[in-house]
Chain A
């Protein structure tokens, strides 16, 4: 959402880039030869895992975008509780009012990973853009540098503060 806070600069951006994949756009498969991917969210389930590997394979510059991608953040709060198996068992079976069962629909409900992991724990990451969410000026600064080519340098409170 904070991406939309870029406001009119989005038009400027649109002149330079082509949007080839997004959870909001109706594109089924992650394409080949992508220049830049902003990856939001941590790696929490089998689908995430599959996708992030694909993204890494097919992308030149992978940006961990936002605290969840960079640290696991709130989504990783389940990790101290241990593996998801017993948690699901408690929630869906033991505490169920009626005959409970753990949701199981292969191909529809993806299996949870043992632990929620930040993106860089699964695949190499090229740039980190922390923030929850990353404020628009921070996103813009990063993208401008990428568009300009050369090394991206983010420093200081406005650029790398978590939270």
Chain B
């Protein structure tokens, strides 16, 4: 495989396209609403009218998951929502002036126009099950460019100057991490893609893999070249069967074409990728636990240092980034560090993908420049709460916090979100309305953390159980102001003493709701302070 062959595939793919393309979303959300039978009906309908200029393709996520199945017809850009299989013939007929029976969507809605798509640039446009479709969109050219025209140091320099920070939550500078792994000595080095997207309410990584798996693989390959690794692992949750299946297919196709495997692009670079399927443990999103799991052990974190960059998988230097981080790599190489750095804010560059869910009119996946405000995202793009008001926006999953409606003008970047007591996290954004009781929300997350605590360190294992119990007591109206104070003390202790990020952040939902919605806790105090019951 060399560049001319790559371009040949791309040109052949583009030349074989038909003028009218009916794109049918086949990502999980739409599949659950019947997208596969819809796609089949669309294909049949296109065949029935005997038009050679129509093609039906299955694509990845278009974003507006709540209104699926979604169908987009090119080149006119007509969007249909809530499409049923029975609507298929009318959609094809509409191409000849008929009227489609499916509701029309509005591609000019702020939900779409407010976005800036880098990570999701191909999402909903290309066929994720065909590598040719990715290559036609310019895929793997960045890898070729890197292997033939850049040294590993050049690559790291570009990533560093781009200002890209880890999209998994903590926002560690990606270039710095790569540089550390590159400098570390080991018999072998590994590159790991963290696709253990465990935050309930987050599905960015699933969607990226389902919609554009090769982009992640290309990013990993570039990273491997930069740090000197020859083996990669993608650690995916078992809860994501479609993503696993598409990734498997993508890896097989990439190997067949020689863009993964030995001697990639004849540049003396070898990189293999294997999938490791998780087995239902939230803590495995923590990097040391994730590595333990890849090694076939209980997914329990260990103290850092040593950091994975120095001593990771099997004691070798290991680079761990998350899906979205890798998906940013090829575009940065293609367009340059300055281009990327021109997007976003002073300290948070580029874009961020969010999964917008909860009590909101338009649920789905959006990608916005860093620094967009919560109000823009929730009210303009998301359309606000149907029949009600936004009470709070939860970001960062169980590790994050609830941001009250009064702070909706907070720009979304790493520092600003942290300043208001939450974290950027991986990108889950759950909107809560007036009907949501914040003590219940805290309880919900605490129950999650308690169930997911690995049990290794005492503050997290026993602390989450105790915090949950105290929330139970509060909800039962049996708590006193002293109990509330003790809960706060315990929260601080667990936050400061837990071994890993899960425990350190487990108190956040309680602390943030206490900070902004303390009255809801206080209203529950001293109602039924008698905890000694004689009930049999």
Seen from chain A, the residues whose Cβ lies within 8 Å of a Cβ on chain B are 43, 45-46, 49, 83-85, 88, 111-115, 117, 121-122
Contact = CB atoms under 8 A, between A and B. Distances in A.
A114 B535 CA distance: 6
B305 interface: no
Contact of A121 (B531, B534, B535, B536): B531
Q: How large is the interface on B (under 10, 10 to 19, 20 to 34, 35 or more residues)?
A: under 10
B15 interface: no
Nearest to A123: B532
Interface in B498-536: 531-536
Given A43-B532, A83-B535, A117-B532, 6 more contacts: A49-B534, A85-B535, A85-B536, A113-B532, A114-B533, A122-B532
Contacts of B536: 83-85, 88, 114
Interface in B419-469: none
Contacts of B535: 83, 85, 114
A121 B473 CA distance: 12
Contacts of A83: 535-536
B531 A117 contact: yes
A49 B532 CA distance: 8
Interface centre among A83, A114, A121, A122 (most CB of B within 10 A): A114
B534 to A, nearest CB: 5
Nearest to A52: B532
Interface centre among B531, B532, B536 (most CB of A within 10 A): B532
A49 to B, nearest CB: 5
Interface of B is mostly: loop
Contacts of B532: 43, 49, 113-115, 117, 121-122
A112 B535 CA distance: 8
A154 B110 CA distance: 67
22 contacts: A43-B532, A46-B534, A49-B532, A83-B535, A83-B536, A84-B536, A85-B535, A85-B536, A111-B534, A112-B534, A113-B532, A113-B533, A113-B534, A114-B532, A114-B533, A114-B534, A114-B536, A115-B532, A117-B531, A117-B532, A121-B532, A122-B532
A114 B536 CA distance: 6
Contacts of B531: 117, 121-122
Contacts of A122: 531-532
Contacts of A113: 532-534
Contacts of A112: 534
A117 B506 CA distance: 29
Nearest to A111: B534
Contacts of A88: 536
A92 to B, nearest CB: 12
Nearest to B533: A114
A115 B533 CA distance: 8
Interface in B189-239: none
A113 B533 CA distance: 6
A1 to B, nearest CB: 27
Nearest to B480: A124
Nearest to A114: B533
Nearest to B531: A121
A111 B532 CA distance: 12
Nearest to B535: A114
- Nearest 5 A-B pairs (CB), nearest first? A85-B536, A114-B533, A111-B534, A122-B532, A49-B532
A58 B128 CA distance: 77
A105 to B, nearest CB: 15
Nearest to A43: B532
A49 B531 CA distance: 11
